[in-house]
Amino acid sequence: MSKGGRSCETPFHTSNSQFSSSFQDAEQQFIQDLALFFCVFLKEHGSLIEKQQLNDGLLKALHYLLLISEVDEVEIFKICLEYWNSLCSDLYRESPFSSSASPLFMSR
């Protein structure tokens, strides 16, 4: 993605847990708002994005949300966890295991 000829790279260049402790209130609020935006947007419009073959944008959004999930802040993690739980649930509903036994307990 470029803006005015410049490449927009991920702002998370270091380990998120290392620098999240140094967040100021405004920065932490921004990250929390960004997490809420991604979670709500992807829940409501994720399937539409998939249908329109905009996979690059979807993967970037999921990547940002993954990076935000690693921030060492409980409330931000809870927001992200809710989305990841919803995504896993949707994926399981789309293609559940066909066998009656769980693949975790399959015989050797």
pLDDT of residue 81: 95
Confidence label for 49 from pLDDT (cuts 50, 70 and 90):
confident
Residues whose CB falls within 8 Å of the CB of residue 75, separated by 6 or more in sequence, listed in order:
32
Q: Enter the tokens of residue 103.
A: 């693949």
Tell me if 41 sits within 8 A of 61, measured CB to CB.
yes
Higher model confidence: residue 1 or residue 80?
80
Dihedral sign for Cα 102, 104, 107, 108, please.
positive
Q: What is the pLDDT of residues 52-96, one digit of tens each?
A: 888 888 899 999 999 999 998 999 999 999 999 999 998 888 887
Report the pLDDT averaged over residues 11-22.
52
Range(s) of the domain holding residue 56? 25-89
If one counts the domains in the chain, the total is: 1
Instruction: Give a yes or no: residue 6 inside a domain.
Output: no
User: 58 versus 103: which is more confidently predicted?
Assistant: 58
| Phi–psi pair at 101, nearest 5 degrees | -90, 145
pLDDT at 48: 85
82 in a domain, yes or no?
yes
Q: Is the pLDDT of residue 1 over 50?
A: no
pLDDT for 5: 43
* pLDDT for the residue numbered 76: 94
Q: Is residue 9 one of the residues assigned to a domain?
A: no
